[in-house]
Chains A and B, each alone.
Chain A
């Protein structure tokens, strides 16, 4: 089997494990956030800014952003390799798939950089 060059981990096992770990991180972040909002019904901007300016919270948010990026990369790669194939849409599929894969990777990386900029800009 030819090694894939546009998948995140370059191996099925690696992608599978990243998908599971990233899911746990996102779940933990979601539960923390829901708990935080329930626990602070009268949340002010000052409290919100204070929460997000701490290093621990920034690291937690960064881990979640990286988890979302990795999860989306693997998921989108699966979707694109399922539906945009030579077998389904003909010989043009390879060029179209590479276009969408590289576009998806570029957008994902841009979002990560943008999110880091926001997190450390608070």
Chain B
């Protein structure tokens, strides 16, 4: 039997959060953490968590699994269980709504700040705005972000200043549009990132890279943004 400890908090009933222990029979199979949560939910319907696609695409089930942020649906027990114990907590740093469900408003507010859409005021061509294969290749490793918030909620700079520091996820997206040959608002975008918080509160500790379930590298993207700012400002 696998010992599972889960963060529980229902603000309507509980004065404070607590850890609840369960025992789960996985029949020796290396199932995903989400399978364990689903099994527990079948027994205890009050257990609350987000999930949707169950294949690492929607980014709904980001949780802290035995101390490391990740997607419950694509994290196998063999990676997450330490000493026959699995500990599941909500993603750290954002307010908890209930159990493993966090309020992601602050995360989305930062995403909105970087204007995550193409800006190009020139008349649209008849069919589409073309890119060379080389220009398109610059977006690889950037566009794949699924906004699960595993990276930003693993970042101490985001914990301390979630209202001012854009966070690794937002900055990866910011560079996705800065690097796009079809976007013409590069200077305007850079001008909004020059303050001491938006980009520069990143101290390069690379927690974001360690936890990204899609294998992306926000620290590298932040480095590219810094280089673009230097080129623009010198």
Contact = CB atoms under 8 A, between A and B. Distances in A.
* A and B are interacting partners: yes
Contact of B161 (A11, A77, A85): A85
B233 A85 contact: no
A16 B160 contact: no
Given A13-B229, A13-B233, A16-B226, A81 B198 contact: no
Interface string A35-53: 0000000000000000000
B230 A1 contact: no
Interface in A78-103: 78, 81-83, 85, 87-88
A44 to B, nearest CB: 43
B163 interface: yes
Contacts of A87: 162-163
Interface string B163-190: 1100000000000000000000000000
14 contacts: A1-B164, A1-B192, A1-B197, A1-B198, A3-B195, A4-B196, A11-B195, A12-B195, A13-B194, A13-B226, A13-B229, A82-B161, A85-B160, A88-B160
A5 B36 CA distance: 51
Contacts, number: 48
B157 to A, nearest CB: 8
Given A1-B195, A17-B230, A12 B200 contact: yes
A82 B203 CA distance: 12
B230 A13 contact: yes
B161 to A, nearest CB: 7
B199 interface: yes
A7 interface: yes
A contact face: mostly helix, strand, loop, or mixed: helix
Contacts of B198: 1, 12
A7 B200 CA distance: 12
Nearest to B196: A12
Contacts of B157: 82
A83 B160 contact: yes
Of A11, A83, A88, most buried by chain B (CB within 10 Å of CB) is: A11
In order of increasing CB-CB distance, the 8 nearest A-B pairs are: A12-B200, A12-B196, A1-B195, A82-B160, A13-B229, A16-B200, A7-B196, A11-B194
Interface string B93-129: 0000000000000000000000000000000000000
Contacts of A88: 160
B201 interface: yes
B200 A15 contact: yes
Contacts of B160: 82-83, 85, 88
A21 to B, nearest CB: 12
B204 to A, nearest CB: 11
Nearest to B159: A82
Nearest to B195: A1
A86 to B, nearest CB: 10
Contacts of B199: 12
A82 B163 CA distance: 12
